[in-house]
Every structure is written in structure tokens, then in C-alpha cells.
Amino acid sequence: MVAAHKGMNINAEEFMAVLDDALNALEKNNIGPREQEEVLFILHSMRKEIMLG
Ligand code: HEM
């Protein structure tokens, strides 16, 4: 993930916007609350690799 986002200088607002989009897609596809939580937890755990790289 670090290499894919290197030099993009992604900030917290942009990062959270992607998580919002992911949440919308999960809800739109009727993914259960527990699975939603698991996916968002995994995506959020990548923030240090993606943000401000
Ligand atoms: C948890 C959040 C994110 C995940 C899991 C993620 C995942 C990925 C993956 C798998 C790729 C493809 C890498 C490749 O083809 O080698 C990618 C590319 C990219 N990501 Fe993300 N991303 C995330 C957040 C963001 C954010 C917040 C932005 C910008 C606001 C962003 C912008 C981009 C762009 C522009 C590319 C294309 C890079 C290229 O074509 O070289 N990503 N991302």
C-alpha cells in the first residue's frame, strides 16, 4: 500500500472519504453490520501506510 500511494500526500479527510464510500457500498449491498465493522476496521488499519506518503 505504501508504494501505491507514495507521493500522493493523502490527508485524513481524503482517507476518511474513501472509508465513507466503502461504507456506502457495503450498505448498498446489504452487508451485515458485523461484516461492515470488520471491513472498516481492516481499511482503517491501513491509514499509516496510505496517508501522507
Ligand atoms: C483504505 C484505503 C485505501 C485502500 C485499501 C486503497 C487501495 C489501493 C490499491 C489496492 C491500489 C492499486 C495499487 C496497484 O494497482 O498497484 C490503489 C491505487 C490508488 N489509490 Fe488507493 N487505497 C486507499 C485509499 C486511497 C485514498 C484515500 C486515495 C486518495 C484520496 C487513494 C488514491 C489512489 C490512487 C490515485 C491510486 C492509483 C495509483 C496509480 O495508478 O498509480 N487511495 N489504492
Kindly state the average pLDDT of the residues 21-34.
Answer: 98
Residue type, 39: V
Kindly state the average pLDDT of the residues 19-31.
Answer: 98
Residue with cell 481492516: 42
Residue 28: which pLDDT band, with cuts at 50, 70 and 90? very high
Cα separation, 45 vs 53, in Å, equals 15
Q: 32: left (phi > 0), else alpha (psi -120 to 50), else beta?
A: beta
Is 18 near ligand 1, meaning CB less than 6 Å away?
A: yes
Residue 49: which pLDDT band, with cuts at 50, 70 and 90? very high
Is 22 near ligand 1, meaning CB less than 6 Å away?
A: no
- For residue 52, pLDDT over 90 is answered with no
- 3-class SS of residue 21: helix
Residue type, 25: A
For ligand 1, atom 38, the nearest C-alpha belongs to 4
